Structure 1
Amino acid sequence: MDPILSCRWHDQDGEWALTVSHNGSSWLLYAAAPLWSESLPFADPDEVRRLAQTLLDLPDEPEPYEFEWQLSRTEFERTENERFHFATFAVGLDPTDDHRPYLAYQSYYHRGQATGLGLEVICEDPPVDHLRAQAHAFLTNCPRPLQA
């Protein structure tokens, strides 16, 4: 699986990652923390193009800016252990922290009557120039226009 848009970083706990990739038949968002990782379907090529454009348009100046995607998957369908796995993925500038850029992923699990927190991966101050270069390369190689 080749990453199309990838942000990886290290801290005192280990390696973290947020990556959007194509596995040959579908698009996936992969989120990783030092001890846990997960992936969820990331819609379709148009949504990946929208993400790439969002990264290219990330303002250099402080201003309100946030785009969010909702991701989901049903696991163990039609069994008594069926659970719904869903997440939000956001790209933006944090209005509470001098409008610093960020990528944020938060997942949840729902089974029966209970919903619980899953994995949280937040990249503050991502390598914006690197992400813009990846987004530009993706849009150049997949130039089909966005559908309304």
Structure 2
Amino acid sequence: MDPILSCQWFDQQGEWELTVRHNGSEWELLASAPSWSESLPFAGPDEVRRLAQAFLDLPAEPEPYEFEWTLSRTEFARTEQERTLFATLAVGLDPDDGHRPYLAYQSSHHLGGNASLGLEVICEDPPVDHLRAQAHAFLTNCPGPPPLRP
């Protein structure tokens, strides 16, 4: 079984998900809303380790905290129909909302000279203990060099 870091939740609209998983030889981020989903390459195992460490390091006390990743995928490269999907994944404590923990994903689509907003998936108050347990299991099962901290 491939180690994953995943957060799923439900609301009145349906099921939402943010998951980093191993897909064959690549790591990918899946962002899913009730009506649509996107997946993007998530660098390599070192970045997954950094994400896991970000979950473990979420402060228990209110204080500024945020880790952010920028991801992209280009389709139909070097053609007139070249499209690029850019996205940001963030893990942090919201300073404008009592330092509540959150996971946030926002994408944008670029086609030629035009850009449009894509999918937004935000989990307020994620199950921090569950994410820390997944992160600990991942780091235990997928050891490597310690993650670099910004």
Structures share fold, TM-score greater than 0.5: yes
Q: Secondary structure at the match of 1:52?
A: helix
> Stretches of 4+ moved more than 2 A in 1?
none
Q: Is the 8 A contact 1:108 1:119 kept in 2?
A: yes
Map 1:71-90; keep pairs closer than 5 Å.
71-90=71-90
- 1:106-117 correspondence runs (5 A): 106-117=106-117
CA distance in 1, matches of 2:117, 2:147: 33
Q: Secondary structure at the match of 2:62?
A: coil
Q: Give 5+ residue unaligned stretches, structure 2.
A: none
Q: Provide the secondary structure at the position in 2 that maps to 1:129.
A: helix
The offset of 1:3, in angstroms, is 5.7
C-alpha RMSD of matched pairs (Å): 1.3
- In 2, are the aligned partners of 1:3 and 1:19 still within 8 Å (CA)? no
Give 1:129's aligned residue.
Answer: 129
2:104 alignment partner in structure 1: 104
| 1:73 and 1:84 in contact (8 A); partners too | yes
Q: Structure 1, residues 8-39: CA drift from partner, whole Å, max 9, x if none?
A: 00000000000000012100000000000000
Cα distance in 2 for partners of 1:44, 1:4 equals 13
Q: How many residues align?
A: 148
1:34 aligns with 2:20: no
Tell whether the 8 Å contact from 1:6 to 1:131 is kept in structure 2 after alignment: yes
Q: Which residue of 1 is the match for residue 94 of structure 2? A: 94
TM score, norm. by length of structure 1: 0.96
Identity percentage of aligned residues: 78
Corresponding residue of 2:119:
119
Q: What is the SS of the residue equivalent to 1:115?
A: strand
Instruction: Give the CA deviation at 1:97.
Output: 0.2
Structure 1 residues 52 and 28 mapped into 2: Cα distance closer, same or farther (>3 Å)? same
TM-score using structure 2 length: 0.95
Mark the CA change 1:82 to 1:21 in structure 2 (over 3 Å): closer, same or farther: same
1:146 to partner: Cα distance: 3.4
Which residue identity is paired with 1:15?
Answer: E
What is the distance in 2 between the residues matched to 1:63 and 1:147? Answer: 21
